[in-house]
Amino acid sequence: MRIHLSSVFVDDQAKALSFYTDVLGFVKKEDVPVGADRWLTVVSPEDPEGTELLLEPDGHPAAKPFKEALVADGIPFTAFAVQDVRAEFDRLRGLGVRFTQEPLEMGPVITAVLDDTCGNLIQIAQYK
């Protein structure tokens, strides 16, 4: 068994696709119309056949309050692995990304937390 798909609730799929591809560097994998929304996934360019991230509309009544509660408490919705958190922090901040946590060493990992502009906090992490 392996993880094939994970999702992140987004408030605007077009805006999310732009942020996750143009800013974070993921690559669009699937884009299939599904009614008013899309089955829209991105993957890492380093593993195009790997785990897909679904940019899922947050239209379900529970999604927005859930996201708002996580953000209010400073809790990231998910985490992405990077080779060098400090370098990625500098690169993304240079692109205008807002961070709620600058790089921080926590035991065997270094993490930082960013705002994905779609209603989520996302953690980037590296093992030391």
Q: DSSP assignment, residue 31?
A: E
CA distances from 28 to 11, 42, 54, 56, 63 (A): 18, 4, 10, 14, 23
pLDDT in tens, 39-97: 999 999 999 999 999 999 999 999 999 999 999 999 999 999 999 999 999 999 999 99
What distance in Å separates the CA atoms of residue 98 and residue 10, rounded to the nearest whole number?
Answer: 17
The structure tokens listed for 68 are 């708002």
User: Facing residues of 124 across strands?
Assistant: 80, 112
Domain spans of the chain, in order of start: 5-127
pLDDT in tens, 70-80: 999 999 999 99
User: Facing residues of 6 across strands?
Assistant: 53
**CATH number for the segment(s) 5-127:** 3.10.180.10
Q: Which residues of 43-52 are buried (b: 16+ CB within 10 A; e: fewer)?
A: bbeeeeeeeb
- Predicted pLDDT of residue 102: 98
Residues 119, 126 contacting (CB under 8 angstroms)? no
Residues 54, 48 contacting (CB under 8 angstroms)? no
Q: Among candidates 66, 32, 30, which has minimal Cα distance to 51?
A: 30
Does the predicted model carry a pTM greater than 0.85?
A: yes
